[in-house]
Amino acid sequence: MSSKKMWSGRFSSDTDEIASGFHSSISFDCRLYREDILGSIAHARMLGKTGIIEKQDSESIISGLRGILKDIESGIIEFSGNDEDIHMNIERLLTQRIGEAGKKLHTARSRNDQVALDTRMYIRKACINTSGLLKSLMGVLTEISEENFDTVMPGFTHLQKAQPTTLAHHLMAYCEMFFRDCMRFGSAFEACDVMPLGSGALCSTTFPIDREMVAKELGFSEITNNSMDAVSDRDFVLDFLYASSVCMMHLSRFCEEIVLWSTGEFSFIHLSDSYSTGSSIMPQKKNPDMAELIRGKTGRVYGDLFTLLAVMKSLPMAYNKDMQEDKEALFDAYDTLSDCLTVFTGMIQSAEWDFANMRRSAGLGFTNATDAADYLAKKGMPFREAHETVGKLVLYCEQNKKAIEELDIKELKSLSPLFEEDIYDAISLDTCVEKRSCYGGPNEESVKKHIARMKEFLIQ
């Protein structure tokens, strides 16, 4: 392959060898090969239809590009670092294969709008794939939830036991988070779904191109409105990185709870051996390393977002080479999130739950105290006064090492004459859950409605 740069006409000496390697992006942007070729095929077809190049040349270019795509996917093409990036590599290969006609492909096009097109196409695909992984996880969570409407467990605030809830209610809280993640990736898709080709380097082109034709062939909903913005915009990459960061944050929160729940102090969940590791020195250990790694990798994806924010913060119009730094951050975030979603889904699907421990834990820590206060309020006591009364009741229980339900009616009446025998049913764990029947709460019918909504979304 020739060592001559395809842009070398203006230069009188070769690029320094170290500088050439520093400048090259083929080591990572090679993964854009498919988007680049499909974009080039659409561009070549448009050039032929509009008469900008001969139809025969257009057909030759399209045939050559399809052959290159087939050979790349067959693993018989090795890219050259001398040609800097995937765009130059493919153009060089095309010219070598079909001759002079290959040199006409870049008519009415710049690498600036070419790379913007490739990246938008790549992120559209990434959004679809990521949403698919999220839906798979949400499907697993809804399945587990449907089996655990009556699995009582403690709910926490400030990492202190607060009120009883159910495993179904708790897991569906995360399902709701992942639903919002799907919405964010949907918005990121829409941000990408605007076709920039035809913007040229920054001021479009003097050739009579048909941008709508190219957009239609590539499946874009619309075309960009301003050529300078089109080549210098990376907001759509930031949208994807932001959606990825928030999704990783949700996974990290879930992993934090799994790490806690798998300890001997909680013993709510037992992770499969397939998703756990051991210790090199302590033979008894079974560590939740997958959950911990996902939690740790969250910072990595945050870093990808901040990398591009920092790159873009002071760039003048229009394209600047700094923007090449978007690719590694994008690819790393996508790869990391995809791996984490896949591993997490397998980990939670194969886990076993200790229902007895969860219920036992829910019965400790006065999680039914709010229900005792509600009981008094329903008897006519102002809630603030009821709150104070039950606070004193809890203090009495702590001093006497008893749970509220272990007090006899005489002890209860010593704090308020409104207490009657029906208090014991009112503060049972099952009642505490089932009486919270307004939509969004842990009541079985409420959670069933939530699951039904999620299932409707998952089949779309």
User: pTM of the full predicted structure?
Assistant: 0.93
User: Using 50, 70 and 90 to split pLDDT, how confident is the model at 404?
Assistant: very high
Closest to 188 in 3D by CA, of 245, 272, 110: 245
Q: Which residues, at least 6 apart from 12, have a Cβ–Cβ distance to it below 8 Å?
A: none
Q: Is there a contact between 280 and 365 (Cβ–Cβ < 8 Å)?
A: no
The answer, yes or no, to whether residue 229 has pLDDT greater than 80, is yes
Give the tens place of pLDDT for each residue, 254-269: 999 999 999 999 999 9
Average pLDDT score over residue span 10-29: 70
Mean pLDDT of the chain: 95
The answer, yes or no, to whether residue 22 has pLDDT greater than 80, is no
**CATH assignment of 361-444?**
1.10.40.30
Q: What gap in Å lies between CA 193 and CA 223, rounded to an integer?
A: 8
**Residue 344 one-letter amino acid:** F
Q: What gap in Å lies between CA 184 and CA 127, rounded to an integer?
A: 9
The answer, yes or no, to whether residue 23 has pLDDT greater than 80, is no
User: Cis peptide leading into 386, omega within 30 of 0?
Assistant: no
Only one residue has tokens 């920039």, namely 196
The pLDDT assigned to 9 comes to 58
Quote the distance between the C-alpha of residue 450 and its chain's center.
Answer: 22
Q: What gap in Å lies between CA 365 and CA 260, rounded to an integer?
A: 17
Give the tens place of pLDDT for each residue, 264-318: 999 999 999 999 999 899 999 999 999 999 999 999 999 999 999 999 999 999 9
The answer, yes or no, to whether residue 334 has pLDDT greater than 80, is yes
The answer, yes or no, to whether residue 326 has pLDDT greater than 60, is yes
Q: What gap in Å lies between CA 98 and CA 59, rounded to an integer?
A: 11
User: Using 50, 70 and 90 to split pLDDT, how confident is the model at 25?
Assistant: confident
User: Using 50, 70 and 90 to split pLDDT, how confident is the model at 82?
Assistant: confident
Q: How far is CA 45 from CA 53, 110, 150, in A?
A: 10, 17, 61
The answer, yes or no, to whether residue 5 has pLDDT greater than 90, is no
Residue 27 is encoded by which pair of tokens? 């080591």
Domain residue limits, the chain: 16-107, 112-159+166-358, 361-444
- Angle CA(416)–CA(418)–CA(421) in degrees, nearest 5? 110
The answer, yes or no, to whether residue 21 has pLDDT greater than 80, is no
Give the tens place of pLDDT for each residue, 180-212: 999 999 999 999 999 999 999 999 999 999 999
Provide the annotated active-site residues.
158, 279
| Stretch among 48-62, 81-95, 351-365, 443-457 having the lowest mean pLDDT | 81-95
**CATH assignment of 112-159+166-358?**
1.20.200.10
**CATH assignment of 16-107?**
1.10.275.10
The answer, yes or no, to whether residue 10 has pLDDT greater than 90, is no
Average pLDDT score over residue span 119-123: 98
